[in-house]
Chains A and B, each alone.
Chain A
Amino acid sequence: MAIIAAVIRWLAVTSRSSASIDYSKVGLKVGLEVHQQLDVAHKLFCSCPPRLFKEEPEASFLRRLRPTQSELGQVDPAAYFEFQKGLRISYEANKSTSCLVEMDEEPPHDLNREALEAALTFALMIDADPVDEVHVMRKVVIDGSNTTGFQRTCVVALGGEVEVSGKVVPIQQVCLEEDAARLMGKDGAIAFYRIDRLGVPLIEVTTAPVITSPKEAGEVALTVGRLLRATRKVKRGLGTIRQDLNISIRDGALIEIKGVQELELIPMVVEYEVRRQLSLIKLREELKARNVEERHIKDEFVDVTMAFVNTKYEALRKSIEEGKRVLAVKLLGFSGLLRRELMPNVSFGDEMADRARFWGRIDEIFNTDELPSEISNEEVELLSQVMKARDEDAIVLAVGLEEDAIDALKAVTERAREALRGVPEETRAANPNGTTRYMRPRPGAARMYPETDVPSIRIEEEYVKRLRSRLPMRPEQMLKLLMKEYGLNEKLARQVLDSEYCELFEGLVKETKAPPTLIATTLTETLKALQRDGIEVSRVSSEQLKEIFTMIGRGELAKEAIPDVVTWLSEHEGLTAKEAVESLGLIMLSEEELERIVKDIVRRNEGIIKQRGPKAAFGLLMGAIMREYRGRVRADVVSSLLKEELETFG
């Protein structure tokens, strides 16, 4: 019976999620914010290199960020809550990637002109209007990601547009801003951030919210990304480009989704968000049909620890033994709705739990719709009695210190009330599988004020004219060049263009004698395949790749050896390709050695050759040689030598 029920549920889920959505009917509107790290000599407001470190930090310091009060006496509620709860931030640093500026122990230096020029160049490529005078602003962010408590950012151009499949997508603004510190983890009331990334220059491109389908969102991101890469001033590798999405549907809410790192995910994120909003709207109608009203949801939290003192649910028992409490709240009429799936493997109950965890530091949270299997029927029975719950009610339980459990359950009841209003406005973070999770409430209007430590910069007409006269090649021109000049077929040319390696490709073609098509397939297909197999390709530097292709160009390395060499280099940082080749025993055999090998194998197999005839034996012997010497010989050379040798049997 249970199996059949599970199958039916599975069918219901898959049929629901495969039903296609009419996006124009639901009124989908998407706006994109593309953030691209710049590959310039130093950070935006100091002379540190824009680099990350992997070693143990050399220094750390502890800070608190106090929500500043605006003239209107408002503080960001989420930020103030965190502050009251005593959130402290432990910053990690090393000397090679940060200085006193990132520590907020020294005022910022002047704005990096190289970065400004890159942003202006991009702006001119999309036909935006550079502003006459750039003013650096402080955008208040007090989650710890900026040591100052604000992000420095400035508009460098307004307007502009990109064309995607014949549709014009207006660009609202092009900004230049500093990247934030990296969150390394949280431990109770301490958040750990690494300040190496802080201050790395970013271009932020904001499109108008005119995108109307998931597919289009992906295409716009791709187009903007291509144009950014065309400036030849952008960084490559995971995490160097990040997309934020603003998604809304009719009768839903404007949801900001942060930090989509992979282009391929964008359509999925949009689709899942639309499904989530549609499900929440449907949930609201069901609650209404059940006559549930906001006033029915009461902040009455009951200590039900006693019901679980002998529980078999290990984690729960441990928490109770540590002196934590189990608090419960009853949600009248919510039974069955908490297990409703909003996104693949994310139920409404999960969404409540995310919320609860944000507002209260709890060990566990679960509900009667989705009980852990270790909870016994007796325990549920007792719980229902204590809570005076009917079959149509749901109960949510939070485990933690009493104060924390209360904070968590307050967030639960708040979320339950919001369900009666529909989709709550919030900021969400993207998960690697395309789903999203609650991040924080949507901040009010961005609180920005001038960065008085950095003087404004005038963008003179002459300078703009000069930049305009030497704009980099546009992607469509580049595509033609790749095909005509380097003889790539269209598919490969497009792959190179859309990879992060376009500039590297050109460099390698110019500086080595390896065939362009080989370089192109290596950079696009081979590296990608290795990445898929879990090889950390990003650890292999452009210099090392150049070394590999130089060896290939000189005939010192066989192209078949590339995957092995790249893999070895990713595992032996700081060593050279030559060392890889030596260590792997991939040194190419000289023609004489090869000749000797061919002669030798032919002699040893004379019997078979005579028996089967030279033609039939060729494949056999060729295979044997290649098996033995793959990566150290060129197949075409072996083939001609072998043919030559076999002719003597003719």
Chain B
Amino acid sequence: MSESLIGYRGEALKLLREANVEVGDVVRITKGGLVYEGLLMPRSMYEDERHIVIKLASGYNIGVRITPEIHVEKVREGVKPSFTLPPRPEQKPGSPKVALVSTGGTIASRVDYRTGAVRAALSAEELYSIVPELAEVANIDAEALFSVYSENLTPKHWTAMAERAAYHIKGGAAGVVVAHGTDTMGYTAAALSFALQNLPVPVILVGAQRSSDRPSSDAALNLLEAVRAAAFGPFAEVVVAMHASASDDSIVFHRGTKVRKCHTSRRDTFRSINSPPLAKMEHGKIAMLIEDYRKRDPSGELMLKPNFEEKVALVKFHPGASPKLVKWLVEDGYKGIVLEGTGLGHVGDYWFSAVKEAVENGVLVAMTSQCIWGRVNMKVYDQGRDLLAMGVIPLDDMLPETALVKTMWALGQTKDQKEVRNLLKANIAYEYSPRTLYE
């Protein structure tokens, strides 16, 4: 694919090449008595090869179909846009240093109205230019770690994120903000909760449900309040900072081990499960919603434990699910299987022999519930007792996704089965809540 003719293929690409034009040039297209003039636009790669897209003088884009009599000519070369950053806003003296590690998605971006392209803003300078209020809150040390859609992130990326966060914390940052796509932000939050122990300052993941190129984006407020909490928040935990509701007036901070994406598109998609959110920010003021939390203590010594075992699977049981799924995982050398069972933590008895075989082969098998809310209890029914007897570990009210991440992490810490079991049962980052309140 040609860079200068981005998105065009086949017939259209050939025609445009012959006319010697590039995206951004002013072109004239003549066909059957009709004349179209405008800027040549890039074409989405998912669309056909039969049309050329131009931006008319009115600003509107249209597609012109290629027909045998079509003629394309260059009127003049496009003017390349030059962007000059506005001057950096005045930094409030003595403001705390906050590290901002971006991993992908676009927490801040600019639109090129000429071509419609959206460009991510990554440097501190660019961020300030888009959300100038940041300068009143903190002194930002921005780092672009990856540029990856969150669904493409793997445990290796968690390790790298944990290491960078540790680097910044050791370098004296008052807090670390990690900009992250929202799809798998809950998993990363859990991963960092286990990898960064004995935290002296907050580590805050932040994202947006509406892309930052639009005026209504939730990105700016989420980012601003995440940075504010990183700079001044009283807690020292790994949290997710997102909108509390459909309104642009309050941000909630969810504990990394208790948070789940619960809606495909709403701004308040993240919810704390089996626990209230840790804190809430309104009009720049933070309020703790939980009494028992880890307090900020910059003198504390961070413990970095960034290793994860990737051969762990989260398997959802459903009526009729084949036990071969479990058998295949064992054969493929998986070290851990987290089951998402029904109700209080069950699977059908036609899975028993496969589960038993897995445990006997040294695979760690743990149980969570697909109900999402509530805790597993495998002592109420025979089915549960049978599974316990086989060596399945009940994980109480831990979220299935957190359980997966924690098992990966535990298996990344030690090869000793007993120790792994102990780690799984230990409450390391508030992943277990001993009491579930009626809310």
A interface, CB within 8 angstroms of B: 61-73, 88, 100, 103-107, 129, 131-135, 137-140, 142, 147-150, 153-155, 158, 172-173, 175, 445-450, 452, 455-456, 458
Contacts and interface: CB of A to CB of B under 8 A. Distances in A.
Given A68-B111, A449-B113, A149 B246 contact: no
A68 B214 contact: yes
A33 to B, nearest CB: 12
A235 B151 CA distance: 45
B34 A129 contact: yes
Contacts of B114: 71
Contacts of B130: 69
Given A447-B113, A449-B111, A105 B267 contact: yes
Contact of B116 (A69, A106, A449): A449
A138 B215 CA distance: 11
A154 to B, nearest CB: 7
Nearest to A460: B65
B245 A61 contact: yes
Contact of B59 (A105, A158, A448): A448
A149 B216 contact: yes
A62 B61 contact: no
A66 B64 contact: no
A140 B84 CA distance: 21
B60 interface: yes
A70 B56 CA distance: 18
Closest 3 CB pairs of A and B: A149-B215, A133-B63, A132-B65
Given A106-B265, A452-B44, A456-B63, 16 more contacts: A67-B215, A68-B111, A73-B84, A106-B266, A133-B53, A135-B61, A135-B62, A135-B63, A137-B60, A148-B216, A149-B215, A447-B59, A447-B111, A448-B59, A449-B111, A456-B47
A105 B266 contact: yes
Interface string B251-275: 0000000000000111100000000
Interface string B377-403: 000000000000000000000000000
Interface in B261-316: 264-267
Which of B83, B111, B112 has the largest number of chain A CB atoms within 10 A?
A: B111
Contacts of B2: none
Nearest to B119: A71
17 contacts: A65-B215, A68-B110, A68-B215, A69-B129, A71-B112, A71-B113, A72-B81, A106-B264, A129-B34, A131-B62, A133-B51, A138-B214, A147-B216, A149-B215, A173-B58, A450-B61, A458-B48
B56 A155 contact: yes
B215 A103 contact: no
Contact of A133 (B59, B64, B81, B267): B64
B163 interface: no
Given A133-B51, A458-B51, A65 B61 contact: no
Contacts of B360: none
Interface of B: 34, 36, 41, 44, 46-48, 51, 53, 56, 58-65, 81-86, 110-114, 116, 119, 129-130, 210, 213-217, 220-221, 245-249, 264-267
Contact of B86 (A73, A88, A445): A73
Contacts of B61: 135, 137, 448, 450
Contacts of B265: 100, 105-107
A71 to B, nearest CB: 4
Contacts of A68: 110-111, 213-215
A303 B264 CA distance: 55
Nearest to B131: A66
Most chain A CB neighbours (cut-off 10 Å) among B59, B61, B130: B61
A71 B53 contact: no
Nearest to A139: B59
Nearest to B47: A456
B112 A132 contact: no
Contacts of A61: 245-247
A150 B46 CA distance: 24
Contacts of A150: 214-215
Contacts of B51: 132-133, 458
Contact of B60 (A65, A107, A135): A135
A452 B45 CA distance: 12
B438 to A, nearest CB: 26
B210 A154 contact: no
A412 B432 CA distance: 63
Contact of B83 (A71, A132, A133): A71
Nearest to A173: B58
A64 B248 CA distance: 6
B344 to A, nearest CB: 34
A131 to B, nearest CB: 4
A495 to B, nearest CB: 36
A196 B310 CA distance: 49
A132 B220 contact: no
B269 to A, nearest CB: 9
B105 to A, nearest CB: 15
B36, B59, B266, most chain A CB atoms within 10 A: B59
B65 A133 contact: yes
A449 B58 CA distance: 12
A131 B63 contact: yes
Nearest to A79: B215
A158 B64 CA distance: 12
Contacts of A133: 51, 53, 62-65
B129 A105 contact: no
B64 A155 contact: no
B60 A66 contact: no
Contacts of B62: 131-135, 155, 158
Nearest to A83: B215
Nearest to A67: B215
A63 B247 contact: yes
Contacts of B111: 68-71, 447, 449
A515 to B, nearest CB: 49
A172 B210 CA distance: 34
Contacts of B63: 131-135, 456, 458
Contacts of B82: 72
A179 B425 CA distance: 57
